[in-house]
Amino acid sequence: MTDWTEKYRPSTLSEVRGNDKARDALAKWAKTWDDHREAVVVYGSPGIGKTSAAHALAADMGWETVELNASDQRTGDVIERFAGRAAKNATLSGSSTGTSTRQLVILDEADNIHGNYDRGGSSAVTKLVKSSSQPIVLIANDFYDMSRGLRNACREIEFRDVSSRSIVPVLRDICRKEGLEFESDALKQIADMNSGDLRSAVNDLQAIAEGRDRITKEDVVMGDRDRSVGLFEFLDAVLKEKSAQESLYTAYDVDETPDDLTKWIEDKVSLVYEPDELARAYEFLANADKWLGRVRATQNYSYWRYATDNLAAGVAASRDRTRGGWTRYGGAPYRSTRNKTRDTVVRKIAENGGFSMATARREVLPYLSALTHHCKPRELTVAMTAYYEFDESHVSFVTGSGETTNKVQSIVEDADELREELVEEHAGGAFAGMENVEMADGDVSDGASDDVLDRDTDADDATPTEDESETDDGQAGLSDFF
């Protein structure tokens, strides 16, 4: 089946929804390019039409496009060779007929050209941007992840998340073109669920429409991701707005098991909390996890109550303040592939760090996630990746950088390089020192036990004392491989 996001990609700027100002600014930039000759950075969240806008612009202007991925071809040489040649040669593909006088160079992932490995790439792009005889659009998620030199060399245009009001007409058009009947509320529901991300709204529409010729609000609500409607209220209550007690009551009202609620909170808390709050929240999540383990082991479901206390009231109490505004929570956590990934990640942490599986999962993984949230700091993320021999899926799982796979890929490549360097330097003993690192909790690997009952079963642990929450738990090794 054709991917609807491709099938309905805007072909002209006027079809790019939302972001009218940004769209106009982009058109103006292109029309006046001969006067200023500056490159432009288009930045904003994934799935809101940045790349589509660049291509649509080229189509409107009658320009050809050359698309490069900055982090796929990162070295200065490669960028010089490909982008440089393309940008300086308007007749590369025989377009000297006059219909296409320009080539628009679209440089994706412009915020992923940094770190040691990419340094050459970044200055090459900056040089190219300054000297190009062709218009260049750089695409980035985060403007401030670009080097200062590159930022200063470009104009900037921000694309904002697409409002639900702008998403609905796109979905409606697609339904009409597909001959699909719909209830307006169903489309509104899909738009609301996807919090500004048009690509995922279109994906949801396609998933829900499969096998149907009419979609109702009920179809949407029954769909997998629809449970998240009530869940978003719950997430807002716990992570942003409500007191511990009110959060607990909200948790009782959500039609989900404490197992799933724990996964949601675990997955989304780092989007909202500051590091101090996060550390406290993870303690409560670890406790919730213990109680869930006890339920599994004993089938005594009355323990669920304690899990809920921890995951709702405990996590809410870990907050320093309430927050307003709107958070883009994204989709459901831990789809089946992610569970497998989590198991592998935990095993690697356990094996390399000398922990039991239970300690790795409950106590080390959350800290690694907090330390390397969204791959920052990058050097630490690279070091972690090298030490635990993580691949892309593992890094994305730990850091939460799932959507920016190129960022993750570049980290894995740098980690491979780091490992090779260290292997060369130490002739195979690169991380030998790590094996001797004594772990603070003395929890030496027991090989495989993932049973939560292998740790203390003291009910008091639902509310850790301040001392306990500050106890170092096996992070002793991090600084050694950094």
Ligand X SMILES: Nc1ncnc2c1ncn2[C@@H]1O[C@H](COP(=O)(O)OP(=O)(O)OP(=O)(O)O)[C@@H](O)[C@H]1O
Minimum CB–partner distance for residue 328 and ligand X (Å): 13
Q: Name which of 170 and 286 has its Cβ closer to ligand X.
A: 170
Q: Name which of 50 and 394 has its Cβ closer to ligand X.
A: 50
Question: Site for ligand X (CB under 6 A): which residue of 5, 372, 385, 409?
Answer: 5
Q: Candidates 16-24, 94-102, 126-134, 260-268: pick the segment binding ligand X (CB under 6 A).
A: 16-24
Number of helices (H), then strands (E), belonging to the chain: the values are: 27, 7
Q: Name which of 140 and 248 has its Cβ closer to ligand X.
A: 140
Residue 137 phi/psi, 5-degree rounding, is -110, 120
Minimum CB–partner distance for residue 135 and ligand X (Å): 18
Q: Is residue 10 within the footprint of ligand X (CB under 6 A)?
A: yes
- Assign 397 to helix, strand or coil: helix
Q: Is residue 9 within the footprint of ligand X (CB under 6 A)?
A: yes
Nearest-CB residue for ligand X: 49
Q: How far apart are alpha carbons 136 and 67 in whole angstroms?
A: 10
Residues across the chain:
482
Is the Cβ–Cβ distance between 381 and 399 less than 8 Å? yes
Binding mask 113-152 for ligand X (x = CB under 6 A): ----------------------------x-----------
Cα-based angle 214, 217, 218 (whole degrees, multiple of 5): 95
Q: Is the dihedral of CA 368, 373, 374, 378 positive or negative?
A: negative
Is the Cβ–Cβ distance between 90 and 102 less than 8 Å? yes
Maximal CA-CA distance, the chain: 80
Q: Is residue 162 within the footprint of ligand X (CB under 6 A)?
A: yes
Q: Is residue 103 within the footprint of ligand X (CB under 6 A)?
A: no
- Amino acid identity for residue 69 in this structure: N
Minimum CB–partner distance for residue 7 and ligand X (Å): 8
Q: To which H or E segment does residue 385 belong?
A: helix 378-388
Q: Tokens for 412, please give them.
A: 């894995």
Q: For residue 67, is it left (φ>0), alpha (ψ between -120 and 50) or beta?
A: beta
Q: What are the binding residues for ATP?
A: 44-51
Q: Name which of 405 and 445 has its Cβ closer to ligand X.
A: 405
- Amino acid identity for residue 211 in this structure: G
Question: Site for ligand X (CB under 6 A): which residue of 49, 121, 223, 400?
Answer: 49
Q: Is residue 240 within the footprint of ligand X (CB under 6 A)?
A: no
Q: How far apart are alpha carbons 408 and 118 in whole angstroms?
A: 13
Q: Is residue 362 within the footprint of ligand X (CB under 6 A)?
A: no
Question: Site for ligand X (CB under 6 A): which residue of 26, 68, 202, 371?
Answer: 202
Question: Site for ligand X (CB under 6 A): which residue of 39, 113, 170, 235?
Answer: 170
Q: Name which of 27 and 462 has its Cβ closer to ligand X.
A: 27
CB atoms within 10 A of CB 11: 13
Q: To which H or E segment does residue 155 belong?
A: strand 154-158
Minimum CB–partner distance for residue 5 and ligand X (Å): 4
Question: Site for ligand X (CB under 6 A): which residue of 13, 16, 292, 478?
Answer: 16
Q: Name which of 268 and 407 has its Cβ closer to ligand X.
A: 407
Question: Site for ligand X (CB under 6 A): which residue of 26, 33, 39, 50?
Answer: 50
Partners of 138 in the beta sheet? 41, 107
Q: Is residue 8 within the footprint of ligand X (CB under 6 A)?
A: yes
Q: How far apart are alpha carbons 472 and 256 in whole angstroms?
A: 33
Pairing of strands 103-108, 214-215: unpaired
Q: Name which of 162 and 349 has its Cβ closer to ligand X.
A: 162
Question: Site for ligand X (CB under 6 A): which residue of 25, 27, 38, 51?
Answer: 51
Question: By C-alpha distance, which of 114, 124, 148, 119 is closest to 411?
Answer: 114
Q: Is residue 46 within the footprint of ligand X (CB under 6 A)?
A: yes
- 138 vs 7, 67, 105, 216, 389, CA distance in Å? 24, 10, 8, 40, 32
Minimum CB–partner distance for residue 48 and ligand X (Å): 4
Minimum CB–partner distance for residue 1 and ligand X (Å): 15
Residue 72 phi/psi, 5-degree rounding, is -75, -40
Q: How far apart are alpha carbons 306 and 313 in whole angstroms?
A: 10
Q: Name which of 5 and 356 has its Cβ closer to ligand X.
A: 5
Q: Tokens for 155, please give them.
A: 């104009």
Q: Name which of 50 and 242 has its Cβ closer to ligand X.
A: 50
Q: Name which of 140 and 346 has its Cβ closer to ligand X.
A: 140
Total residues interacting with ligand X, rule: CB under 6 A:
20
- Amino acid identity for residue 341 in this structure: T
Judged by CB under 6 A, the chain residues 52 through 71 that form the site for ligand X are: 52
Question: Site for ligand X (CB under 6 A): which residue of 114, 199, 361, 373?
Answer: 199
DSSP state of 389: T
Minimum CB–partner distance for residue 221 and ligand X (Å): 23
Q: Candidates 46-54, 79-87, 443-451, 464-472: pick the segment binding ligand X (CB under 6 A).
A: 46-54
Chain positions contacting ligand X, by CB under 6 A: 5, 8-10, 16-18, 46-52, 141, 162, 170, 198-199, 202
